[in-house]
Structure 1
């Protein structure tokens, strides 16, 4: 569904089976192998007497449009699940961090084609929230499309689903240049009581502090270096500490950072040895703690 594979190995998109063939085992049509040609054609038969059934194996490259035979409105949808993102004005050269948050407390799954204008926004990074890196298909990102599908325990209302980090290559506002569509994957959400709802993206000018975000370290575990991305809506003072599992302080620091996207980096050379470490980052009254694991060499 996320277009992670665009072909079937050892197979073709279409298979042709003689129309009069009866599968011995309907539960496993591939065993024994089915015929795909006529042999020993009776004398007197013509080509027009030979008939096949064509079977579409799959549509991993999106050459078929599953929505072509359906109406634009799905009558089975009951209500909607809103997602919220900030409306951000941007200019060429700016870094734009766009967090996505659900506006419902009973969300158990969603899927959509997330689109953006690639002529004015270039994707630099995708930062996970309760949606992980494996919930995204990135093969169409050069065309301004990200395929996403997630299922899991309902997160808290307003929890961070994920964030996109763009480099602006033109002028604009995210309200006009980013959205959900059903072009590749139908934009749908699912509640914890199995209701299917429409998935809508709304934009709002959120209070500045609400846009403050500090993500978990990536990668984790790691062998050489890990980073902790963050986004500051305005210039702020950060304090950070890293401890071994026994409570020994290994690293501490503080610094003023300008508004926008930034990150803290920690290396094997700084930490000294493999093991489990805990970090604490404080920005004004907001505090983030986490656990990271350094592999042995």
Structure 2
């Protein structure tokens, strides 16, 4: 009888170890990371913006909506790459592009670093690209699926370039949406004290922090545990001579 109990105990321990490994494996599943270079847009100029994916080989498909504020820039077209014309819905008057893509077999390694697609726009204002381009879940839900059929999120990263000028700038947080932490970058034309304030859509202050920063490009790291909330948020950067607010999305864990 004792041997039987011991054998059952060993099987239970083995099952727990296997389940723990499965949980650990799920934790390392990464969101799909889309990226493009941050750049300063000039009013009246046309731009072609290549979009790439850092870990495209880990997914079998994705869908999303892209929003470009039509008051700030006009969408003039979409250039093909790994994705083609039939992967998109195009609604330029509303500043919307929807996209859906999937494959039956993983892409060959030589294609993984190719451009997914290229956005073609005319800028109406002088401003950073990250201020006008964002991913969203309407009208097409934003989600990707791994090779193991697990659903993951999608992030848009703007690779920072060296910013120079005499005006302060606040950039879109990256990644966005996020569920653990995100970087909120900004540029200061001179050394200054900067304050970051996060509010919900009702205007309630959820988090506030500040610091003394040197001239140049700086950033705050914001954690989901700092704000203890999820959904659409507004974050504001305040200095003596500058205040700007942007939206971000916090995904519940």
| TM-score, scaled to structure 2 | 0.48
Which structure has the highest helix share of the two?
A: 2
| TM-score, scaled to structure 1 | 0.41
